[in-house]
Amino acid sequence: MARVTVEDCLKRIPNRYFLVHAAVKRVRQLREGADRLVNAPENEDIVTALREISAGKIFVTGHYTDYKVEEPDEPEEKGSESAS
């Protein structure tokens, strides 16, 4: 069986941060006894999770995809205060 690459997974989940979180969550599910969604009985849990993601069996929804980057407020100037 061919190796699974991060690039294969990034085609399904384009954000590396979300990819890592999805893979970790799936590994925990597999270790708790969840059924494997791909035929990979000899692989470790992390490899199986990445294979499932690259095969399109696992995807992220909800709060993982509904995010926005907020710009920080303008910092106050510290040099304008006078010492009396």
Q: Domains of the chain: which residue ranges?
A: 6-64
Q: Say how many residues make up the chain.
A: 84
Choose between 17 and 77: higher pLDDT: 17
The whole-number average pLDDT for the span 23-44 is 92
Nearest to 2 by CA among 43, 34, 46: 43
Report how far residue 46's alpha carbon sits from residue 40's, in angstroms, rounded to the nearest whole number. 11
Over 70: is that where the pLDDT of 48 sits? yes
Per-residue model confidence (pLDDT) at position 59? 76
CATH architecture of 6-64: Alpha-Beta Complex (3.90)
DSSP secondary structure code for residue 3 in this structure: P
Alpha helices in the chain (DSSP H): 6-10, 16-31, 45-54
3-state secondary structure of 75: coil
